[in-house]
């Protein structure tokens, strides 16, 4: 299936699961689809509701404003990209939550109902953090200092705010991974952990989020839940949003663009436990405010926006998995990815060289009565797609990946493994044979080809004399 076909499929139902044996490129394909969907979208830095409030209050010298006025100014400056009818309500709710979660260390204060301002005065370090957060982009120290002084964010009569700020940032670097600031190669300063950090070319953009399910993953991780308050304060626990709630909120505020949530190993998690009451909301016809449900902990009204696409991957060979929940099955479309040996020919000459080995291993796995049982337990092409890939790499893949996989498939039935890979693959102590040792690559390849190319002789091809 090509990219345009996947797009049409996701228009039909915005939830997709790619499933198949290990090594068939499910995760790669999911990421490829996500990138294809989002690559031509406007990827300019978008402001969150908190940064919108920050920027407006910064330009107002930190003086309090009614939340209606904050959203009005944001709309006038075109820093809100939303089709929502009540952006002011969303803004007020998020700032209210920030004050509640962070208390004295919040950027914001609420002097009275509906009114929000900056929690001044700041220290130089806190002021720099706020300016970077509000502008949502890396800045030079001099420019940060100018905004701090211009908007009276600190109480200081010093004549060298740039030097003071430089000292604070240098001191902060001593905290290593716990530091607030990062100094980029071009001399710009940015905040650790925010989306304006430069991204490598293989990381797409802010439109894509990825999570991996596992047996211990929960609703509290995925949607929202209480976590220990590591920042101090009177409350020992704070309510944190999970990745699903976060990307839904982002998508709601940016309806002109598509957002993609990638869920790797989706069937390794307890689906009813993870999605909770929200399982209904991912249906295409339920993605609107009219179908909102109240979240378990915050009691906020919540719905899944129509511009969010969910793509999951599922390894069908994993015997330890819980069965896919039927409720989830009804809400997803499924696309099977099977081994594609022909892809090896697109790599280089070495890929073509080993294509027959992969083809014949899978024939051996599924031959006879095994074809139904082990169709989902074939060897995927990605095992042979490392770069570079030669005789040495083939030996390592056979010894350390394919052999252990077959041991798992056949419950250490070494006669079955010998049937598939050849009698020399397993030694007398049921351990990898000497043919898999370094330096024996040529012998190994010869053995594999000799064994795998031998067709199984069956007696059922001979005619029964009684039938003549």
Q: What is the pLDDT of residues 323-348, one digit of tens each?
A: 566 767 788 999 999 999 888 876 55
Spatial distance between the Cα atoms of 273 and 21, rounded to a whole number of angstroms? 26
The answer to whether position 409 is within a domain reads yes
Predicted TM-score (pTM) of this structure: 0.64
Q: Give the C-alpha distances (Å, rounded to integers) separating 434 from 396, 425, 439.
A: 13, 8, 10
Which of 300, 315, 336 corresponds to the end of one domain? Answer: 336
The residues pairing with 211 across neighbouring beta strands, listed in sequence order, are 263
DSSP string covering 173-221, please? HTTGGG-SEEE-TTS-EEETTSTTS---TTS--TTEEEEE--TT--HHH
Spatial distance between the Cα atoms of 321 and 268, rounded to a whole number of angstroms? 5
233-271 burial by CB neighbour count: b if 16+ within 10 A, else e?
eeeeebbbbbebbbbbbbbbbbeebbbbbbbbbbbbbbb
CA dihedral sign of residues 335, 339, 345, 350: positive
CA dihedral sign of residues 73, 74, 78, 80: negative
What single DSSP character describes residue 401?
A: I
The three-state secondary structure class of 48 is coil
Residues across the chain: 468
The answer to whether position 86 is within a domain reads no
Question: Is 399 found in the same domain as 315?
Answer: no
Which of 315, 336, 357 corresponds to the end of one domain? Answer: 336
The answer to whether position 32 is within a domain reads yes
Question: Is 348 found in the same domain as 311?
Answer: no
How many C-beta atoms lie closer than 10 Å to residue 121's C-beta?
13
Q: How far is CA 118 from the centre of its chain?
A: 34
Question: Is 34 found in the same domain as 12?
Answer: yes
Task: Indicate the number of domains in the chain.
Answer: 2
The answer to whether position 228 is within a domain reads yes
The answer to whether position 275 is within a domain reads yes
Bond before 121 cis per omega within 30 degrees: yes
The answer to whether position 137 is within a domain reads no
pLDDT at 228: 81
Beta pairing, strands 208-212 & 115-118: unpaired
The answer to whether position 406 is within a domain reads yes
Helical H segments across 321-410, by residue range: 326-331, 349-366, 370-373, 391-397, 403-409
Question: Is 375 found in the same domain as 302?
Answer: no
Which of 336, 353, 368 corresponds to the end of one domain? Answer: 336
- Going by C-alpha positions, the residue among 325, 382, 306 that lies closest to residue 27 is 382
Find the helix packing angle between 87-102 and 49-59, rounded to 10°: 90
Question: Is 306 found in the same domain as 210?
Answer: yes
Question: Is 413 found in the same domain as 325?
Answer: no
- Going by C-alpha positions, the residue among 392, 376, 375, 393 that lies closest to residue 384 is 393
Question: Is 8 found in the same domain as 37?
Answer: yes
pLDDT at 194: 52
Where in the sequence is the domain holding 390, given as residue range(s)? Answer: 341-452
What single DSSP character describes residue 379?
A: P
Question: Is 259 found in the same domain as 223?
Answer: yes
pLDDT at 236: 80
Q: What is the pLDDT along the chain (468 residues), one digit of tens a residue?
A: 877 788 889 999 999 999 999 999 999 999 989 988 887 675 444 556 777 888 888 888 888 999 888 888 887 766 665 545 567 777 788 888 888 888 888 889 998 888 999 888 888 888 888 888 888 778 888 888 888 888 888 876 555 777 888 888 778 877 776 788 887 766 788 887 554 333 333 343 578 999 999 999 999 999 999 888 765 566 788 888 889 998 998 888 778 889 999 999 998 888 888 998 899 999 999 999 999 999 989 898 999 999 999 999 998 877 544 456 676 778 899 999 999 988 887 655 555 688 899 999 999 998 877 667 788 889 999 998 877 788 999 999 999 999 999 998 888 889 989 999 999 999 888 889 999 999 999 999 999 999 888 755 433 433 444 443
Residue at token pair 């940064």? 51
Question: Is 219 found in the same domain as 317?
Answer: yes
Question: Is 364 found in the same domain as 317?
Answer: no
Spatial distance between the Cα atoms of 78 and 81, rounded to a whole number of angstroms? 7
The answer to whether position 37 is within a domain reads yes
Question: Is 382 found in the same domain as 347?
Answer: yes
Question: Is 216 found in the same domain as 286?
Answer: yes
Bond before 352 cis per omega within 30 degrees: no
């Amino acid at each position: 299936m090509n990219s345009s076909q996947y797009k049409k499929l996701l228009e039909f139902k915005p939830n997709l699961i790619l499933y198949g044996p290990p090594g068939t490129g499910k995760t790669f394909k999911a990421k490829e689809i996500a990138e294809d969907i989002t690559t031509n979208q406007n990827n300019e830095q978008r402001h969150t509701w908190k940064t919108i409030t920050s920027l407006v209050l910064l330009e107002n010298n930190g003086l309090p404003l009614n939340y209606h006025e904050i959203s009005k100014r944001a709309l006038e400056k075109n820093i809100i990209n939303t089709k929502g009818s009540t952006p002011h309500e969303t803004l007020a709710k998020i700032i209210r939550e920030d004050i509640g979660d962070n208390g004295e260390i919040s950027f914001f204060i609420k002097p009275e109902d509906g009114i929000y301002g900056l929690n001044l005065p700041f220290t130089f370090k806190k002021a720099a953090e706020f300016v970077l957060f509000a502008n949502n982009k890396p800045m030079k120290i001099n420019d940060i200092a100018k905004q701090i002084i211009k908007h009276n964010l600190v109480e200081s009569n010093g004549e060298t705010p740039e030097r003071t700020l430089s000292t604070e940032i240098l001191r902060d670097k001593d905290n290593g991974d716990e530091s607030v600031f990062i100094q980029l190669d071009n001399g710009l300063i940015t905040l650790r952990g925010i989306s304006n950090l430069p991204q490598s070319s293989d990381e797409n953009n802010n439109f894509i989020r990825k999570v991996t399910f596992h047996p211990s993953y929960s609703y509290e991780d995925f949607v929202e839940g209480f976590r220990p308050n590591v920042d101090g304060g009177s409350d020992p626990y704070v309510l944190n949003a999970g990745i699903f709630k976060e990307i839904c909120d982002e998508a709601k505020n940016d309806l002109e663009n598509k957002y993609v949530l990638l869920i790797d190993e989706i069937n390794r998690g307890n689906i009813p436990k993870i999605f909770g009451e929200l399982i209904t909301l991912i249906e295409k016809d339920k993605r609107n405010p009219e179908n909102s449900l109240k979240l378990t902990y915050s009691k906020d009204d919540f719905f899944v926006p129509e511009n969010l696409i969910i793509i999951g991957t599922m390894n069908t060979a994993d015997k330890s998995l819980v069965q896919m929940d039927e409720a989830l099955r009804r809400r997803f479309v499924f696309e099977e990815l099977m081994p594609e040996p022909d892809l090896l020919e697109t790599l280089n000459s070495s890929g073509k060289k080993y294509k027959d080995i992969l083809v014949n291993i899978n024939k051996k796995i599924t031959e006879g009565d095994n074809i139904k049982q082990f169709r989902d337990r074939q060897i995927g092409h990605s095992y042979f797609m490392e770069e570079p890939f030669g005789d040495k790499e083939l030996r390592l893949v056979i010894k350390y990946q394919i052999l252990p996989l077959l041991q798992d498939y056949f419950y250490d039935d070494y006669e079955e493994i010998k049937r598939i890979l050849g009698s020399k693959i397993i030694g007398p102590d049921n351990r990898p044979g000497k043919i898999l040792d370094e330096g024996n690559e040529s012998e190994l390849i010869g053995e594999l080809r000799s064994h795998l190319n031998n067709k199984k002789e069956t007696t059922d091809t001979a005619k029964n004399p009684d039938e003549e």
